[in-house]
Amino acid sequence: MLLMNNDIEMKYRSMGRTGVHVSQLCLGCMMFGAKTSPEDSEAIIKRAIDAGINMLDTANAYERGRGEEVVGDALKKNGLRDDVILATKVHFGMGADPNMKGNSRRHIIQQCESSLKRLKTDWIDLYQIHRPQPSVPIDETLRALDDLIRQGKVRYIGTSTFGAWQYVDALWAAKELGLNRFVTEQPPYNLLERRVERELLNMARHYGVAVFPWSPLAGGLLTGKYRKNNPSPAEGRYANLPEGNWMGQRLNENMYAAIEDLIALAEKKETTLSRLALAWVMAQPGVTAPIIGPRTMEQFEDNLAATHVSLTQEDLQAIDAICPPGGMFSPFYNSNWGPGEYR
């Protein structure tokens, strides 16, 4: 499927086995209500929908619910709720109560009700488990989600940052118990973090799972703002990291060397590093739509322009020579333990 709008050729892909079609870019709303004002957030959402983007992704934990409120307000104001696939997530704690976190039935049911209120909607199109939690049996989680689907409050369910084995385990449990199954997964995937190519992407293609990569620009590392011997941008997430913070592992000699080579390749193609990196994720087999997370309208327009970048086989081979398939220069799983581990 193809939609022409403002010189943008927005393509649409099937969301796994669901029959639903989603745009090749998904608008991530993590910045909304935080670094992006409600007014600017509303403008970006409207511009995205006008450009053909039909999927918005947020989470209850973004600014402790404020992110969902901003998205809900914007969709109510512009009257476009019915035009979008609205996705949100649950897992992280929302307060001091130790029971108000994780993947238990109690937390999932309570947080779904709260998300519906904040989003000002009667249903969530895609409700996702934000992180795996091995201490909670997967059948506990699936039964709660299945009840929400049967009640009409949720249409589809998915996961984020699950390992391939955890996802298959959940598919098996759903089949054995006659429950609705997960249909999507959100892994970290970018030129600096390609470990999902080892197992997860193949698993997703085999089982018909839609894949929505988060951090396709490596949290800003693939925008050209981070260069060796240059200070990190003051507004960037890597500025003034506390000593010992695991995110600091992303800044290393191999990462800086790869970025210099990628910038040279982007300049050769007369484009920007960010557009090249985003176009690359969109072009990968098994990827449904990368999740962009613009802070400003300028960043959004740059992300949107990636739909104009075409990559030749020669380009792809050059990229693989810089960033080897299945490799990793900067870790984007939340520990050193690798995909699917919980911390």
Q: How remote is the C-alpha of 125 from its chain's centroid?
A: 15
pLDDT, mean of residues 59-70: 95
pLDDT, mean of residues 278-299: 97
The whole-number pLDDT of residue 96 equals 76
List strands edge to edge, sheet with 8-14. Answer: 2-5, 8-14, 21-23
pLDDT(128) > 70? yes
For the stretch 178-219, pLDDT in tens is 999 999 999 999 999 999 999 999 999 999 999 999 999 999
Q: Which residues lie below 8 Å from residue 20, measured CB to CB, with a gap of 6+?
A: 14, 85, 156
Per the CB < 8 A criterion, the answer to whether 50 and 84 are in contact is no
Nearest CA to 308 among 57, 24, 54, 46?
Answer: 24
The whole-number pLDDT of residue 2 equals 41
Per the CB < 8 A criterion, the answer to whether 4 and 11 are in contact is no
Could you give the 3-state DSSP secondary structure of residue 162?
coil
The whole-number pLDDT of residue 3 equals 44
* Range of lowest pLDDT (16-30, 88-102, 220-234, 253-267): 220-234
Domains assigned to the chain: 2-220+281-311 (3.20.20.100)
62 as an active site residue: the answer is yes
Per the CB < 8 A criterion, the answer to whether 139 and 170 are in contact is no
Kindly name the residue from 12, 62, 156, 189 that is annotated as catalytic. 62
The whole-number pLDDT of residue 234 equals 67
pLDDT, mean of residues 89-100: 85
Nearest CA to 50 among 15, 2, 4?
Answer: 4
pLDDT(143) > 60? yes
Beta strands in the chain (DSSP E): 2-5, 8-14, 21-23, 26-28, 55-57, 85-90, 124-129, 154-160, 184-186, 210-211, 291-292
For the stretch 34-54, pLDDT in tens is 899 999 999 999 999 999 999
